Amino acid sequence: MPDVFEKLAKIFKDFPGIGPRQARRFVYHLLGRSESQLKEFSDLVGELKKLVKTCSLCCRFHSSGAAVCAICRDKGRDRSTLLVISKDSDLSAIEQSGVYKGLYFVLGGTVPILEKEPERKIRIRELLAQILERVKKDKLREIIISMNVNPEGENTASYLRSRLEKLVKEHSLKLAAPGRGLSTGLELEYSDPETIKNALERRSGV
């Protein structure tokens, strides 16, 4: 099979969740597109990093052209709260819920268990600098650490808490975590003890 074919299949094989077979089907799919469709695709990929930048404040990807993203510039957002998430798609999910009106910070990763150099896995220095700046400029009062509820997420949260401890104390910040309990779709019968414990301890009147 052609060289360019195999090179493209190899690139697609690195896409998240894609095996060698589907990677090849992607190339066949491209071969079935028109010249102009392929040109558009090629151009978008080529321009992606020129058009999409990392926001200099929250570190999320954005393409507003400015150094700072639309959320960070939005005067209507509550600047006293900072929600720390692992990745852009977490931010997307939370924005879609419409319930959070504060600011964000995207870590750009998680800290694996037993990781020796956590500062190479996440933007910890940028986070510390950002918190300091927000405290001065925006009277930041609360930081919500919102990680996935799995061992790596909890390890990341634990690392963040230890690194933020001094800053939080010095500036009397509140450090918070999203409430644990029963999430939508959960069936009691299949719940783990931890979730049941959280749900019963945090029960509320109805």
Q: Which of residues 98-157 bind its own copies (CB under 8 A)?
A: 98-100, 144-150, 157
Among the listed ranges 9-17, 72-80, 124-132, 133-141, the one in contact with its own copies (CB under 8 A) is: 9-17
The pair of three-digit structure tokens given for residue 90, joined into one six-digit string: 């977490």
Applying CB under 8 A, does 24 fall inside the site for its own copies?
Answer: yes
Among the listed ranges 41-49, 72-80, 117-125, 126-134, the one in contact with its own copies (CB under 8 A) is: 41-49
* Length of the chain measured in residues: 206
Q: Smallest distance from the beta carbon of 184 to its own copies, in angstroms?
A: 5
Q: Which residue lies nearer to its own copies by CB, 96 or 116?
A: 96
# binding residues, its own copies (CB under 8 A): 96
CA-atom Rg of the chain in angstroms: 21
Rule CB under 8 A: which of 59-98 touch its own copies? Answer: 61-64, 85-90, 92-94, 96-98
Among 20, 51, 119, 133, which residue interacts with its own copies (rule: CB under 8 A)? 51
Among 13, 121, 171, 180, which residue interacts with its own copies (rule: CB under 8 A)? 180
Rule CB under 8 A: which of 187-206 touch its own copies? Answer: 187-206
Among 73, 77, 121, 161, which residue interacts with its own copies (rule: CB under 8 A)? 161
Q: CB of 72 within 8 A of CB of 58?
A: yes
Q: Smallest distance from the beta carbon of 196 to its own copies, in angstroms?
A: 4
Biggest CA–CA distance in the chain, Å, is 67
User: Angle, to 10 degrees, between the axis of helix 124-138 and the axis of helix 151-170?
Assistant: 40
Residues 6+ apart with CB under 8 A from 105: 58, 59, 82, 83, 84, 85, 123, 126, 127, 130
Quickly list DSSP for 45-71.
Answer: HHHHHHH-EE-TTT--EE-SSSSS-HH
Q: Which residue lies nearer to its own copies by CB, 56 or 137?
A: 56
Q: Which residue lies nearer to its own copies by CB, 56 or 89?
A: 89
Nearest-angstrom CA–CA distance, 40 and 46: 10
Beta-ladder partners of 102: 78
Q: CB of 56 within 8 A of CB of 130?
A: no
Among the listed ranges 72-80, 111-119, 127-135, 175-183, the one in contact with its own copies (CB under 8 A) is: 175-183
Q: Smallest distance from the beta carbon of 85 to its own copies, in angstroms?
A: 7
